[in-house]
Amino acid sequence: MNDSKYMETAICLAKKAKGYTSPNPIVGAVVVKDNQIIGKGWHKKAGLAHAEVEAINDAGEKTLGSDLYVTLEPCNHFGRTPPCTKKIIQAGIKRVVIGAKDPNPSVCGGGIKYLREHGINVESGILKKETETLIEDFIWYVKNKTPFVILKSALTLDGRIATSTGDSKWITNKKSRAYVHKLRHRNDAILVGSGTIKNDNPSLTTRINNCDTKDPQRIILNSKLSIDKNAKVLTQKSDNATIMVVSENISPRKKIYFENTGVQIIQVPEKKGLLDITILMEKLGKMGIMSLLVEGGARIINSFLLTGIINKVMFFIAPKLIGGNDGIPLVRGKGVKLMKDAYNLNQVKTKMFDNDVLVQGYLK
């Protein structure tokens, strides 16, 4: 049996939906009979058919005695759609091969158990690491009720994210920047500080040529609500919200003014003079934000590092040197005192974008 080969196909199908399915995970599936793929499917959007149903429907009347490969354990409960397990049984599938079990402790293994009780041979854990990585944000969110946090930054070889004048356009090349827009599309929200809005006036939207994409929710840490009322994030057209995170003691008049412009306000307490990031993550989790892309600047990055809530790091390093010691560093604030206490990345990977290098890894 070519279990790994067919699971790889299911993984490729799942990736087609990255960015469209939240709060659901991305899932891919294939139906195989006589060593031939007869049906393919992937979950396209929350509320629409799950991957298993798509693949079975694609196979039509040929499913009797076939094998089903699916990246995530089939559901066995009613949600916005009926249980996939019943569809699998009705289709006459004899064997189901699963990549990852459902991470939800209350349902984990339930789909597998139900299928086995109905005489279906079930095998689990095929390309387990790959299928779990596919839905790493969903797994984290289900278990912790807070967003999966990715820290992304662009920097020079000498570790600067801008010159002394604040100029950062452009550190990285076009291919790197295009990939960042894919990251924005794939994540539920993007977060920056008010300094980034003031210095760069970014749109924080997704712009990919010839591709139907969605904008992330734009979250701005802005304790005093000191932001230009004509900033792009407040005036542009977008299919998603702009959220200001402010202190609990903000002026009610200011709050009402910005709310009347369509901005959503989240108030969090301060801790040592800074907005409490931990409480913010809890609030974002309750809002259904499953994944969060943090784009800096330097003090924001340090706050997230100190809080210990970064899951994944993605640094785009350009082969450029600013020189001197007056440029803006990647991180500002107090760091560790000893190298043994440095933040270590795990499962490190690199990828080239022409001459730029993406270094990515996990802090958790």
Strand intervals (E) in 143-222: 148-156, 160-162, 189-193, 217-221
The Cα 337–Cα 317 span in angstroms is 25
Contact 341, 306 (CB under 8 A): no
> What distance in Å separates the CA atoms of residue 320 and residue 349, rounded to the nearest whole number?
21
Dig out the tokens for 292 from the structure: 């969060």
Query: Coil, strand, or helix at residue 243?
Result: strand
The single-letter DSSP state of residue 223 is T
Rounded to 5°, angle at Cα 251 from 246 and 253: 115
Q: Which residue has the tokens 């990285």?
A: 172
Angle at 346 between CA 287 and CA 291, to 5 degrees: 15
Catalytic residue list: 52
The DSSP code sequence of 156-170 is ETTSEEE-TT---TT
- Amino acid sitting at position 355: N
- Listed residue (260, 278, 261) closest to 269, CA to CA: 278
96 and 3 Cβ atoms separated by less than 8 Å: no
- Locate the DSSP E strands across 157-254: 160-162, 189-193, 217-221, 242-247
* SS3 assignment, position 289: coil
DSSP code of residue 268: E
